[in-house]
Structure 1
Amino acid sequence: MRKYNILFFSIVAFSATIFAQTKQITVEEIYRGAFQTEGMQALRSMKNGKQYTILNQDRTTGNTSLDKYDYKTLAKVETIVSSESLEGLDKFDSYEFTNDEAKLLLATEIEPIFRRSKLGIYYVYDLEGKSLTKISETKIQEPSISPDGKMVAYVADNNLYLFDMASKNTSKLTSDGEKNKIINGITDWVYEEEFALVKAYEWNSDGSKIAFLRFDETNVPEFSMDVYGTGLYQKPHVFKYPKAGEENAIVTLHMLDVKSREISKVDLGKPYYIPRIKWMNNPNKLSVQTINRHQDHLKLHAVDTKNNTVEILLEETDKAYVDITDNLTFLADDSFIWTSEEDGWNHIYLYSEEGPLMNQITKGNWEVTKYYGYDQNEDRIYYQSSENGSINRGVYSISSSGKDKKALTAKAGTNSADFSADFTYFINTYSSTTTPNTYSLHNALSGKKVKDIIDNSGLSEKLKGYTMSKKEFSTISISGNDLNMYMIKPKEFDAAKKYPLFMYQYSGPGSQNVSNRWNGANDYWHQMLVSEGYIVACVDGRGTGLKGRDFKKVTQKELGKFEVEDQIAAAKKLSELPYIDEKRTGIWGWSYGGFMSTNCLLKGNDVFETAIAVAPVTSWRFYDTIYTERYMQTPQENANGYDDNSPFNYPELLKGRYLLVHGSGDDNVHVQNSMRMIEALIQANKQFEWAIYPDRNHGIYGGNTRIQLYNKMTNFIKSNL
């Protein structure tokens, strides 16, 4: 009897071990956060360069604290402020120091508006007096404390306000703000989405002036979408949305004299877009970037605010378009650093205060992917680039002369850096397809690692209990181009068997899906599918990024042509592999990727049997001006470019299985896109599946939404591939 028990126990233990080794990832685990990496939240360097701050939240109580840490020891120095000690403020969601680090701007009750904009209740906390001052009883946008810490500017109801900390008085600086008409100090929908800009005002260095943008969107067409909610009647949400070829807001630059409260208009000569304003070190000098409607001619202006005179520092043109970035950096003498694709690759340039080029700092057939800053004391420029291969990222430094380049962290994978204010240290974040995010402290000058901070070893250990397959990188030759690709095969791959192929891509201009970094949520979902017998592949075709200007901009004026050709050709080539079942090929994507997967299923109907499109564009005529016209010009100028690759113009080509998904509350890619596709397919008498998620935006999330969506997609793939 005892022997039987021992034998039974051994069998159970052995079975449990086998099960632990072969546990499959589930959709529920992915979207309930089971595989999240540990990070360092809202990390910012103190001005002394020796310490940094992190916003921490107690998961049990919900209390938040802003804590100070020492770079060298990584030890916690002190708690600067905790919500437990603040009367009337249970928690705060973000923080911002004043220039002298004597006060903090704290935010709570944050309410998102669109992708980047938000409303909130804001407070100023005085570190010395430990006093808390509420700026406004109602929710406001984009508050900013003056350089001397005495005033707070903010926007409410499309007007600029000024709050005096000493008197607690509020002054209304503009009075013409009106919903869907006039906006002061913040941007309209399309600037926010496409220029990544919300706060459209800036204090100068001595706090004597505020430069701000004013948007007159009176003539911009309105878009309306129903919000269903839980009430008896749905409510319309109406906002200004300029679709390709339609009128944009008229944007003007204005200057506020803080002392007199007088506002003057700066004449920039009728610019079409004003995507960036930035003060120089001289408090009387403002830089302004303007660009034309086609976005192929950018000007950098210098405004002398003593008399509002304007001169041009530089101009940049391109046969396709010029990118807008935040890399402009003014040095002590107001000479400046600029990034450009002028030589065919994105690189760093140095210009004099008056505008003439001094020298090109970085060179080579690779891209500068992030500009981190300039240490004037050591004459070192810090940046991230793809010079270790287009799927990798390394962190480097170089002198302003373009000499003495150093690789600080360039291990194969993805390296990024967060530098201390004085460039003594940086915290390196590293990951690869096999290594989850690790954080380590490094000396900035040498790149030498000082110590490890976080390694996410717990996640690595946890994943050993799951069926995980290696992401294999390679290139595939299509139309004379070596395209980056990865493939994921089942763990017990057998080359003698036939596997269905499921392709994933995004393919938008300048994007990259094939990169040597740790898993995102989609990667885990792909691993789940691979564990069930699918091969997943991803190919970055023409038009994607990190392979030079010409490769990226070849799709100009005909989005969806070369990108679709490349995916179809790649699928054909992969289907020639002996272990791929050419009769079971699927493709999926989200947003631009949904546009692509839809076109691939139609134009490649002899190659693809299945496609999933989530929140797809189905005609670029429906998308916004700034994004669409950057690549396509206007529909009036380029009608064929818009229509030849619009999938609802050829629904009769549908042969395979098609799943179409959209959120009804998508303010970005409107559900109108899918409705037009649905109607076209109905009239072509084509069968397909579709799902509309009520009130969900472009991300289609909230509650169990993502779980339900990915289970739906999983079941669709199992049934049809």
Structure 2
Amino acid sequence: MNIRKTALLLLLLVAGVVTAQQKNITLEEIYDGTFRMQYLDRLHSMNNGKEYAVLNTDRNTGTKTLDVYSYKTGEKVNTLINSSEIDGLDYFIGYTLSADESKALLSTKMRSIYRRSSLGVYYVYDLETKELVQVAEEAIQEPTFSPDASKVAYGLDNNIYIKDLASGTTTQVTTDGAKNKVINGITDWVYEEEFAFVRAFDWNADGDKIAYIRFDESEVPEFSMDVFGNELYPSKDTFKYPKAGETNATVSLHIYDVTSADTKAVDLSGFQNYYIPRLEWTPEANVLAVQTTNRKQNDVNLLFVDGTSGEAKLILSDKDDAYVDITNNLTFLEDNDFIWTSEKDGWNHIYLYDKDGKLKNQVTQGPWEVTSYYGYDPKSKRVFYQSSENGSINRGVYSVKVNGKSKKALATEAGTNSANFSTDFTYFIKSFSDAETPYVFTLNAADDGDLVRKIKDNQALKDQFADYVISEKEFFTLPINGEELNAYMIKPKDFDPNKKYPVFMTQYSGPGSQSVANSWSGGNGYWFQMLAQEGYIIVCVDPRGTGLKGRDFKKMTQKELGKYEVEDQIAAAQALGQRDYVDADRIGIWGWSYGGFMASNCIFQGADTFKMAIAVAPVTSWRFYDSIYTERYMTTPQENASGYDNNSPLSHVDKLEGKFLLVHGSADDNVHVQNSMRLIEALVQANKQFDWAIYPDKNHSIYGGNTRLHLYTKMTNFIKENL
């Protein structure tokens, strides 16, 4: 007998046994917690910079404890709060410590309103006296300690109130708040969603003034959604929603004097003041920093307002031909010098200005982006940040002197590194992952990035995947329309280059976004692995208009959302179809939200390229979407009608040839189901056959109970039947 043939046969048999032992991922496993990731609980870095607090829950008793740990050792050193020891309070959900860490705000009975806003019943717990005080009988919004923790300001029924903790008295600051008319100190729907903040009031450093924004939304058009629920008759949820080109809330800035109870209106008429997307008091108690911008959002003003006179002074104007992003990166140094981030040199970088707005120096520079600004350490005079300087699909953590010198690489392993720094910048908790590695958490020294100790590594999850058929995620670039577009590909584990495979493309493609990143992806990442097991090649391409490749690459889609991105996705699919192992007649595409807008456009405009598409919660015309987001990229429909209509899926329904699945939640307060209903009607009138599903009372995320499992089962079956 031929020994070599015998050995080869045995090797093949062993390989077959190993393969047989590996399992395929199922949808049930994806959504029942089988692949549960370990994360770090939200922690609070204590003022001493050497310890941090974490909220823990005893699953057996339901007891909540706020425990303090040593950064260096990880050992528990103290328990600040134990719910079982608080008289009059059975439980709490979350906490906020006062600036001096003497008191805690404890939240209970929380109820979400929109994406970032919520209502809850709150208590103040004195960590020394163990006294418990309820802030208000009603559910309130955004309770915030005064700097000395003697008072709490909060929002209730569109007005601002102040609770004096010593006397127990409550003062009503504003009185004209009314639903769907006037809001004081809390942002309206569109500010919350697109400027990403809810609390529109702030205490000054001395605690004797509160600045707040007033929203007069009486002229803003209303949007209503049916809520089907379980009752005999549905109800309606009606709220103010300014669509592109429509009337926005009129905003004004006010300063309330706590001692005199007087309110002063701040005159901003001499500045770009259509929106007021940020306000915060500087370290100087009488100087308020306010950011304002015009409706086009391409001229952002930083103003300093005198807290006594109300006089506003222009400190900085950041302009762009397209738009200027609003961030939370403004940081004040000594003497009110400040740090600002800007794309003015073509890449997002950090700049240092003096208190009069004079540029002192550009702190970072190069053909890469600062992706997160972590803060400034006054002792070492160093700025800490995350950037893409180790590759646009990677993230590294760095520090640099505020003068731009002596840069240090703190965490630059290929993949995605992020950091959470201690209050005094002694340590940072590093989070790392890449395409093959679930999140690893370590404690590192902020001075040089050296490892101090390991925290969590999710090795158990990584070992668990050894039992499954998992394919490698291959990163590459595609030369498309004059650009090298970032892309990744997941092939079936048993890939044979001599066979032809169907391709399923995933994308988001929205302005400044990134889907092709060297990081661990759960959820949809598991779904893509499951589809690869079924014999599909998964491909993702970030087209022009996405982020991390400079200002010009990102903003070239200005006034034409859905034009160049669609051209790139169609061209990418055609380029893939040229490969020997790709079946060019079996290419599909899907996406959610902006990705759904893209998937719809791709199958309509690329009818000869795509065999099928799935669009979940898509925008189908930017005329239907909110003012702040849409006008940032498109200006108004009155100014740019062709940009809105030429790139709308509604304008291309007659071209549909392939199989199309449309999905939406009926209670989507963000991308209204109106978008899909109008597309459905357009397709019907064009006599185009397609499939669709509406999930009752589900919002933009379409989740709850078995909803996600049902949705992904539907989409999986649609792919199997049509690709």
TM-score using structure 2 length: 0.97
Aligned residue for 1:594?
596
Aligned residue for 2:200?
200
Instruction: Give the secondary-structure state (helix, strand or coil) at the position aligned to 2:142.
Output: strand
Aligned residue for 1:273?
275
Structure 2 distance, partners of 1:711, 1:442, is: 42
2:468 is equivalent to residue 462 of structure 1: no
- Residue 20 of structure 1 deviates from its aligned partner by 7.2
* Equivalent of residue 519 in structure 1, options 518, 521, 530: 521
Question: Contact conserved, 1:660 with 1:689, CA < 8 A, in 2?
Answer: yes
Task: Out of 188-197 and 50-59, give the one that drifted further.
Answer: 50-59
Aligned residue for 2:162?
162
Task: Out of 595-604 and 32-41, give the one that drifted further.
Answer: 32-41
**Deviation per residue, 1:477-505 (Å, 9 max, x gap):** 00110000000001111101111100000
Kindly provide the amino acid, as one letter, of the partner of residue 660 in structure 1: L
Structure 2 distance, partners of 1:110, 1:467, is: 41
Question: Contact conserved, 1:40 with 1:54, CA < 8 A, in 2?
Answer: no
Aligned residue for 1:529?
531
- The aligned runs of 1:352-431 (5 Å cut-off) are 352-431=354-433
Kindly provide the amino acid, as one letter, of the partner of residue 257 in structure 1: D
Structure 2 distance, partners of 1:314, 1:89, is: 48
Structure 2 distance, partners of 1:122, 1:462, is: 41
- Residue 257 of structure 1 deviates from its aligned partner by 0.4
Structure 2 distance, partners of 1:579, 1:435, is: 28
Structure 2 distance, partners of 1:171, 1:20, is: 70
* Equivalent of residue 622 in structure 2, options 605, 620, 623: 620
Aligned residue for 1:608?
610
Task: Out of 80-89 and 65-74, give the one that drifted further.
Answer: 80-89
Instruction: Give the secondary-structure state (helix, strand or coil) at the position aligned to 1:324.
Output: coil
Question: Contact conserved, 1:69 with 1:75, CA < 8 A, in 2?
Answer: yes
- The aligned runs of 1:292-307 (5 Å cut-off) are 292-307=294-309
2:352 is equivalent to residue 350 of structure 1: yes
Question: Contact conserved, 2:55 with 2:67, CA < 8 A, in 1?
Answer: yes
* Equivalent of residue 555 in structure 1, options 534, 557, 582: 557
- Residue 640 of structure 1 deviates from its aligned partner by 0.3
Instruction: Give the secondary-structure state (helix, strand or coil) at the position aligned to 1:441.
Output: strand
Aligned residue for 2:700?
698
- Residue 78 of structure 1 deviates from its aligned partner by 1.9
Question: Contact conserved, 2:601 with 2:652, CA < 8 A, in 1?
Answer: no
Structure 1 distance, partners of 2:521, 2:80, is: 34
Aligned residue for 1:94?
94
Assess, with a 3 A threshold, how the Cα gap between structure 1 residues 305 and 93 changes in structure 2: closer, same or farther: same
Structure 2 distance, partners of 1:169, 1:359, is: 49
Task: Out of 366-375 and 74-83, give the one that drifted further.
Answer: 74-83
- Residue 167 of structure 1 deviates from its aligned partner by 1.9
Question: Contact conserved, 1:20 with 1:466, CA < 8 A, in 2?
Answer: no
- Residue 41 of structure 1 deviates from its aligned partner by 1.1
Aligned residue for 1:70?
70
Aligned residue for 1:664?
666
- The aligned runs of 1:427-446 (5 Å cut-off) are 427-446=429-448
The Cα RMSD (Å) is 1.3
- Residue 521 of structure 1 deviates from its aligned partner by 0.7
Structure 1 distance, partners of 2:575, 2:62, is: 53
- Residue 70 of structure 1 deviates from its aligned partner by 0.1
Identity %: 61
Structure 1 distance, partners of 2:20, 2:90, is: 42
Aligned residue for 1:209?
209
Structure 1 distance, partners of 2:67, 2:156, is: 31
Aligned residue for 2:540?
538
Question: Contact conserved, 1:431 with 1:438, CA < 8 A, in 2?
Answer: yes
- The aligned runs of 1:124-139 (5 Å cut-off) are 124-139=124-139
Question: Contact conserved, 2:251 with 2:276, CA < 8 A, in 1?
Answer: yes
Question: Contact conserved, 1:602 with 1:655, CA < 8 A, in 2?
Answer: yes
**Deviation per residue, 1:527-577 (Å, 9 max, x gap):** 110011100000000000000000000000010000000000000000111
Instruction: Give the secondary-structure state (helix, strand or coil) at the position aligned to 2:198.
Output: coil
Structure 2 distance, partners of 1:17, 1:103, is: 61
Assess, with a 3 A threshold, how the Cα gap between structure 1 residues 220 and 402 changes in structure 2: closer, same or farther: same
- The aligned runs of 1:680-699 (5 Å cut-off) are 680-699=682-701
* Equivalent of residue 565 in structure 1, options 567, 576, 598: 567
- Residue 58 of structure 1 deviates from its aligned partner by 2.5
Assess, with a 3 A threshold, how the Cα gap between structure 1 residues 29 and 61 changes in structure 2: closer, same or farther: farther
Question: Contact conserved, 1:335 with 1:353, CA < 8 A, in 2?
Answer: yes
Question: Contact conserved, 1:21 with 1:464, CA < 8 A, in 2?
Answer: no
Question: Contact conserved, 2:142 with 2:199, CA < 8 A, in 1?
Answer: yes
Task: Out of 457-466 and 597-606, give the one that drifted further.
Answer: 457-466
- Residue 680 of structure 1 deviates from its aligned partner by 0.4
Aligned residue for 2:450?
448
Aligned residue for 1:258?
258
Task: Out of 147-156 and 54-63, give the one that drifted further.
Answer: 54-63
- Residue 651 of structure 1 deviates from its aligned partner by 1.1
Aligned residue for 1:36?
36
Question: Contact conserved, 2:490 with 2:538, CA < 8 A, in 1?
Answer: yes
Kindly provide the amino acid, as one letter, of the partner of residue 594 in structure 1: G
Gaps of 5+ in 1: 1-13
Structure 2 distance, partners of 1:131, 1:305, is: 34
Instruction: Give the secondary-structure state (helix, strand or coil) at the position aligned to 1:629.
Output: helix
Kindly provide the amino acid, as one letter, of the partner of residue 239 in structure 1: F
Aligned residue for 2:655?
653
Structure 1 distance, partners of 2:198, 2:19, is: 50
Assess, with a 3 A threshold, how the Cα gap between structure 1 residues 720 and 336 changes in structure 2: closer, same or farther: same
Question: Contact conserved, 1:21 with 1:467, CA < 8 A, in 2?
Answer: no
- Residue 34 of structure 1 deviates from its aligned partner by 1.9
Instruction: Give the secondary-structure state (helix, strand or coil) at the position aligned to 2:484.
Output: strand
Structure 1 distance, partners of 2:361, 2:15, is: 67
Instruction: Give the secondary-structure state (helix, strand or coil) at the position aligned to 1:650.
Output: helix
Kindly provide the amino acid, as one letter, of the partner of residue 538 in structure 1: C
Kindly provide the amino acid, as one letter, of the partner of residue 86 in structure 2: L
- Residue 616 of structure 1 deviates from its aligned partner by 0.1
Structure 2 distance, partners of 1:302, 1:36, is: 47
Structure 2 distance, partners of 1:34, 1:313, is: 53
Structure 1 distance, partners of 2:65, 2:722, is: 50
**Deviation per residue, 1:23-46 (Å, 9 max, x gap):** 111112112222221111111100
- Residue 170 of structure 1 deviates from its aligned partner by 1.4
- Residue 88 of structure 1 deviates from its aligned partner by 3.8
Kindly provide the amino acid, as one letter, of the partner of residue 569 in structure 2: Q
Question: Contact conserved, 1:298 with 1:322, CA < 8 A, in 2?
Answer: yes
- Residue 435 of structure 1 deviates from its aligned partner by 0.8
Aligned residues: 709
2:74 is equivalent to residue 59 of structure 1: no
Task: Out of 79-88 and 48-57, give the one that drifted further.
Answer: 79-88
Question: Contact conserved, 1:20 with 1:465, CA < 8 A, in 2?
Answer: no
Structure 2 distance, partners of 1:148, 1:556, is: 46
Instruction: Give the secondary-structure state (helix, strand or coil) at the position aligned to 2:713.
Output: helix
Aligned residue for 1:678?
680
- Residue 295 of structure 1 deviates from its aligned partner by 0.5
Instruction: Give the secondary-structure state (helix, strand or coil) at the position aligned to 2:437.
Output: coil
Aligned residue for 1:7?
none
Kindly provide the amino acid, as one letter, of the partner of residue 39 in structure 1: Y
- The aligned runs of 1:324-335 (5 Å cut-off) are 324-335=326-337
Question: Contact conserved, 1:619 with 1:673, CA < 8 A, in 2?
Answer: yes
- Residue 610 of structure 1 deviates from its aligned partner by 0.4
- Residue 62 of structure 1 deviates from its aligned partner by 3.0
Kindly provide the amino acid, as one letter, of the partner of residue 529 in structure 1: L
Kindly provide the amino acid, as one letter, of the partner of residue 206 in structure 1: D
Structure 1 distance, partners of 2:296, 2:312, is: 23
- Residue 16 of structure 1 deviates from its aligned partner by 12
Kindly provide the amino acid, as one letter, of the partner of residue 345 in structure 1: W
Instruction: Give the secondary-structure state (helix, strand or coil) at the position aligned to 1:264.
Output: strand
Structure 2 distance, partners of 1:323, 1:48, is: 34
